């Protein structure tokens, strides 16, 4: 390889860590007093160690520590003076607040993808589209209360639930809340602060009439599927164009959404019920929305975009190790989940930069980074043109030595 183009004085892992502004870490360390009573293993050291665990898909503390000890010559590049003891890492995972890592994720996201403006009116549909969903990660113990069936031993496995608000344009979670697995999905809605003009899409598990009313008042469009427990009354049937009928729209109704018996708590609101038939999958869908300006087929297309968050869940669970956790306490589990989200965010940031010259799949990029964390190569330069890296490459093996074996083979 040509050293001036591809080799660098910093390993790939350090190039990834350089994406995290140290000022953010220092500020959050003071806010949460994360370095209080810590002599050596400070919050930055903890972050580096857990990212090493995440990127290498380590399944135990011993794997993490021995792996870092084998790379001791590169520790100075990472800003570390020594590898931690197993007991030191275990204690830090139990005592250092997971809120430090939670805020760190959101600060990094805002640093690279910006904060939401007060209004998204006039933007393209994809720029103002948000997706809401949650995913549950099962644990092997009843550490954190979870949903689901009871096992053969009479006990229910633990589980942790991650509630995500994903901005479709970035394909990243702009807001995440981690709770116990048994917590209802509807509680997540009250933590959101969406700007006017936003479009939020979710599945039918999110049924909160008060939140729907508040979004309508704040000029936020919401799209969901009709739940069997939803109470509504059909008022009028809206006309359909021939193009909408060919697209699969069967009915378009104006409805009064809400239960008359609970009108004092949840006022009746005007909404729209769209019945859509997917000919390809031979499935019938019923969509509920407060938007009367978009065509019925556009509402159906917006809901189809909800599948993007399922691909995000798949990306995280396939590229990182979330089957085994380093600690047997709730704080340790939360820290490992947050560092996994941070690692995914950093790799996605690298992908967005590399895609300007060459498109990369997240799975391929994650695997390449995992294999070359300790390699001294300019990552972005290599990703821009990996084929060119093989030009003028000189094999370090002495070809004269290989010829000896070739001669012996001929003699035999």
Percentage of the chain exceeding pLDDT 90: 61
Are the beta carbons of 101 and 342 closer than 8 angstroms?
Answer: yes
Number of H helices, E strands in the chain: 15, 9
Residues near 252 by Cβ (< 8 Å), separated by ≥ 6?
A: 237, 238, 239, 240, 244, 272, 273, 274, 275, 296
What pLDDT does residue 212 have?
93
Q: Exposed, middle or buried by CB within 10 Å (0-12, 13-18, 19+), for 87? A: exposed
40-48 average pLDDT score = 93
* Range scoring the smallest mean pLDDT among 68-72, 272-276, 312-316, 384-388: 384-388
pLDDT at 297 over 80: yes
Residues near 348 by Cβ (< 8 Å), separated by ≥ 6?
A: 171, 172, 362
| pTM for this predicted structure | 0.89
pLDDT at 26 over 80: yes
Q: Kindly state the tokens that stand for 161.
A: 């639930």
pLDDT at 147 over 60: no
pLDDT range class, residue 318, cuts 50, 70, 90: very high
pLDDT range class, residue 2, cuts 50, 70, 90: very low
| Best mean pLDDT range from 131-140, 182-191, 342-351 | 342-351
**Other residues' Cβ atoms within 10 Å of the Cβ of residue 348:** 20
pLDDT at 173 over 70: yes
CA-CA distances (angstroms) from residue 210 to 189, 206, 311, 392?
10, 12, 30, 66
- Rounded to a whole number of angstroms, the distance between the first and last alpha carbons of the chain is 37
pLDDT range class, residue 403, cuts 50, 70, 90: low
What pLDDT does residue 261 have?
83
Q: How far apart are CA 35 and CA 23, in angstroms?
A: 15
pLDDT range class, residue 396, cuts 50, 70, 90: low
pLDDT at 345 over 60: yes
* Range scoring the smallest mean pLDDT among 76-80, 106-110, 404-408: 404-408
pLDDT at 398 over 60: no
pLDDT at 168 over 60: yes
Comparing C-alpha atoms, which of 299, 311, 315 is closest to residue 201? 299
pLDDT at 191 over 50: yes
* Range scoring the smallest mean pLDDT among 81-85, 107-111, 303-307: 81-85
Q: In this predicted model, what pLDDT tens digit does every residue of 54-65 receive, in sequence order?
A: 999 999 999 999
pLDDT at 154 over 70: no
Percentage of the chain exceeding pLDDT 70: 88
Helix (H, G, I), strand (E, B) or coil at 178: strand
Residues near 212 by Cβ (< 8 Å), separated by ≥ 6?
A: 222, 257, 269, 271, 290
Average pLDDT along the chain: 87
What pLDDT does residue 391 have?
56
What pLDDT does residue 375 have?
87
266-277 average pLDDT score = 93
Domain ranges of the chain: 3-101+326-390
Burial code (b: 16+ CB inside 10 Å, e: under 16) for 146-159 equals: beeeeeeeeebbbb
Write out the DSSP string of 29-64.
Answer: HHHHTTTTT-SS--HHHHHHHHHHHHHTT--SHHHH
Residue 201 exposure: Cα atoms within 13 Å on the Cβ side: 23
pLDDT at 404 over 90: no
Are the beta carbons of 201 and 131 closer than 8 angstroms?
Answer: yes
What pLDDT does residue 6 have?
67
Beta strand residue intervals within 190-268, DSSP E: 199-201, 221-225, 232-237, 249-257
Q: Who wins on pLDDT, 142 or 237? A: 237
pLDDT at 400 over 80: no
Residue 150 exposure: Cα atoms within 13 Å on the Cβ side: 3
318-331 average pLDDT score = 89
Q: Kindly state the tokens that stand for 355.
A: 């895609």
Are the beta carbons of 197 and 218 closer than 8 angstroms?
Answer: no
362-388 average pLDDT score = 89
Q: Is the dihedral of CA 259, 263, 267, 268 positive or negative?
A: positive
Q: Kindly state the tokens that stand for 34.
A: 């994360």
pLDDT at 1 over 50: no
Q: In this predicted model, what pLDDT tens digit does every residue of 106-130 receive, in sequence order?
A: 999 999 999 888 888 878 889 999 9
């Amino acid at each position: 390889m040509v050293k001036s183009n591809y080799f660098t004085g910093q390993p790939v892992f350090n190039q990834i860590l350089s994406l995290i502004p140290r000022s953010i870490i220092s500020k959050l360390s003071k806010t949460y007093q994360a370095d209080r009573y810590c002599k050596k293993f400070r919050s930055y050291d903890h972050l580096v160690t857990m990212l090493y665990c995440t990127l290498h898909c380590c399944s135990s503390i011993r794997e993490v520590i021995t792996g870092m000890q084998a790379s001791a010559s590169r520790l100075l590049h990472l800003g570390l003076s020594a590898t931690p003891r197993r007991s030191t890492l275990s204690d830090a995972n139990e005592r250092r607040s997971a809120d430090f890592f939670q805020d760190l994720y959101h600060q990094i996201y805002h640093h690279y993808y910006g904060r939401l403006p007060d209004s998204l009116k006039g933007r393209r549909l994809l720029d103002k589209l948000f997706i809401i969903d949650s995913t549950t990660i099962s644990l092997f113990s009843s550490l954190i209360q979870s949903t689901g069936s009871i096992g053969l031993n009479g006990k229910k496995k633990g589980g942790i639930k991650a509630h995500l608000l994903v901005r479709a344009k970035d394909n990243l979670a702009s807001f995440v809340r981690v709770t116990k697995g048994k917590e209802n999905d509807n509680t997540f809605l009250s933590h959101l602060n969406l700007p006017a003009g936003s479009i939020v899409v979710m599945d039918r598990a999110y049924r909160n009439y008060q939140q729907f009313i508040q979004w309508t008042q704040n000029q936020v469009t919401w799209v969901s599927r009709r739940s069997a427990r939803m109470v509504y009354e059909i008022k009028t049937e809206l006309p359909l164009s021939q193009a909408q009928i060919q697209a699969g729209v069967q009915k378009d109704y104006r409805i009064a959404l809400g239960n008359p018996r609970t009108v004092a708590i949840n006022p009746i609101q005007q909404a729209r019920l769209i019945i859509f038939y997917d000919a390809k999958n031979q499935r019938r869908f019923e969509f509920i929305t407060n938007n009367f300006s978009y065509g019925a087929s556009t509402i159906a297309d917006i809901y189809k975009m909800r599948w993007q968050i399922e691909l995000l869940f798949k990306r995280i669970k396939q590229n990182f190790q979330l089957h085994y956790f380093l600690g047997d306490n709730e704080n340790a589990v939360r820290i490992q989940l947050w560092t996994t989200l941070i690692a995914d965010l950093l790799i996605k940031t690298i992908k967005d930069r590399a895609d300007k010259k060459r498109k990369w799949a997240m799975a391929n990029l994650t695997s390449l980074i995992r294999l070359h964390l300790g390699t001294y190569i300019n990552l972005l330069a290599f990703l821009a043109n990996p084929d060119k890296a093989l030009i003028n490459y000189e094999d370090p093996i002495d070809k004269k030595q290989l010829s000896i074996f070739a001669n012996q083979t001929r003699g035999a």
